[in-house]
Amino acid sequence: MDSPSIQNGILFSIAQAIGAPEQALRLLISILIGYPIALFNCFYLRHKSAIVKHVFFTITGFSIGFFNFGWDIGHSFGCVLVQYLLIKILSGTRICVALSFTFHMAYLLLGYYQTGTDTYDIKWSMPHCVLTLRLIGLCLDYYDGRKKPDQLNAHQKKMALVQAPTLLEMCGHVYFPGGFLVGPQFSMKRYLDFANNVYEKESGDIMQCIRPGLIRAGLGFFYLALYQVASNFISDSVITSESFYEHTFVIRVLLLGLWAKISLYKYISCWLLTEGVCTMSGLTYNGKDDKGKHLWNGCANVKLRVFENATRFGHLIQSFNINTNAWVAEYIYKRLRFLGNRSLSQAIALFFLAAWHGLHFGYYVCFFMELIVMLFEKDMELLVAKNPTIHRVFNNPTLAPVRWVVGKLYVFCFMGYCLAPFTFFSDFWSIYGSLYFMGFVFFLGWRFVAPLVLPRLIPRSPRSEVTSEPIVDGSEHPKKKQ
Q: Are 301 and 184 in contact (CB under 8 A)?
A: yes
User: CA triplet 338, 342, 347: central angle to 5 degrees?
Assistant: 105
- Please tell me the total number of residues recorded for the chain in this structure: 482
**What is the H or E stretch that residue 466 is in?**
strand 466-467
Distance (Å, rounded) from C-alpha 159 to C-alpha 239? 44
Determine contact, residues 26/68, Cβ cutoff 8 Å.
yes
Contact 374, 349 (CB under 8 A): no
Nearest Cα to Cα of residue 61 among 321, 281, 221, 301: 281
Alpha helices in 338-387 (DSSP H): 342-357, 361-386
- Round to whole Å and give the CA distance between 209 and 202: 13
Q: What does DSSP assign to residue 293?
A: -
Name the pairing type of β-strands 466-467 and 479-480. Answer: antiparallel
H runs (alpha helix) in 232-329: 236-240, 242-246, 249-281, 304-308, 313-319, 322-328
Query: Cα(159)–Cα(331) distance, rounded to whole angstroms?
Result: 11
Indicate the DSSP class of residue 299: T
288 — phi, psi (to 5°)? -125, 155
* Terminal-residue alpha carbon distance, the chain: 56
Q: Which residues of 383-411 are buried (b: 16+ CB within 10 A; e: fewer)?
A: beeebeeeeeeeeeeeeeeeeeeeeeebb
- Give the whole-angstrom CA distance, residue 27 versus residue 41: 21
CB neighbour list of residue 160: distance below 8 Å, 6 or more residues apart = 141, 142, 144, 145, 147, 152, 189
Stated as kind and residue range, the H or E segment containing 143 is helix 125-145
Give catalytic residue positions.
321, 357
d(CA 35, CA 47): 19
Interatomic CA distance for residues 106 and 279, integer angstroms: 32
In order of 219, 354, 364, 446, 448, the CA distances from 453 in angstroms are: 45, 31, 29, 9, 10
Residue 418 CA to residue 374 CA, distance in Å, equals: 12
| Identity of residue 8 | N
